[in-house]
Amino acid sequence: MAKSIESYMPLSETAYYILLSLKIPRHGYGIIKYVDELTNGRIVLGSGTIYTTLGKMKKSNFITVYQDQDRKTIYILTTKGKKLLELEVDRIKKMYSDTLKVEGVLDEN
């Protein structure tokens, strides 16, 4: 029996940013640079972490090899990966919305 997409949630921060970066084809170093720039250096992905996560995501069919040349493997999201990212973004938006509802209460204390 295959695992449901929801069983992979919530995503780790590393997995989330890797999926987010693969909306367009990128190789490992390109992912590291993109995430660093996107987060203004808040998240720095190490090569060991990224390649381990990429391997797991490929095995789970969330990403696939887009192109493999010159010792650079370029990855992209699969349809299943896009769906997982969409579900995770929706989950995060709901959490943010809930937080905004409580923010005034937190400020009063």
Residue 95 lies in a domain: yes
Cβ-contact 62, 81 below 8 angstroms: yes
Residue 3 lies in a domain: no
Q: What is the side-by-side order of every strand in the sheet holding 63-69?
A: 26-27, 72-77, 63-69
Residue 7 lies in a domain: no
Q: Is 46 helix (H, G, I), strand (E, B) or coil?
A: coil
Q: Is 67 helix (H, G, I), strand (E, B) or coil?
A: strand
Q: Structurally, how many domains does the chain consist of?
A: 1
**For 18-35, what is each residue's pLDDT tens digit?**
999 999 999 999 999 999
Residue 38 lies in a domain: yes
pLDDT of 1 over the 70 cut:
no
Q: How far apart are CA 56 and CA 49, in angstroms?
A: 11
Q: Give the range of the structural domain holding residue 45, as residue numbers without chain letter.
A: 12-108
Residue 16 lies in a domain: yes
Residue 5 lies in a domain: no
Residue 39 lies in a domain: yes
Q: How far apart are CA 17 and CA 2, in angstroms?
A: 24
pTM of this structure: 0.88
**For 44-79, what is each residue's pLDDT tens digit?**
999 999 999 999 999 999 999 999 988 889 999 999
Residue 2 lies in a domain: no
CATH code of the domain covering residue 43:
1.10.10.10
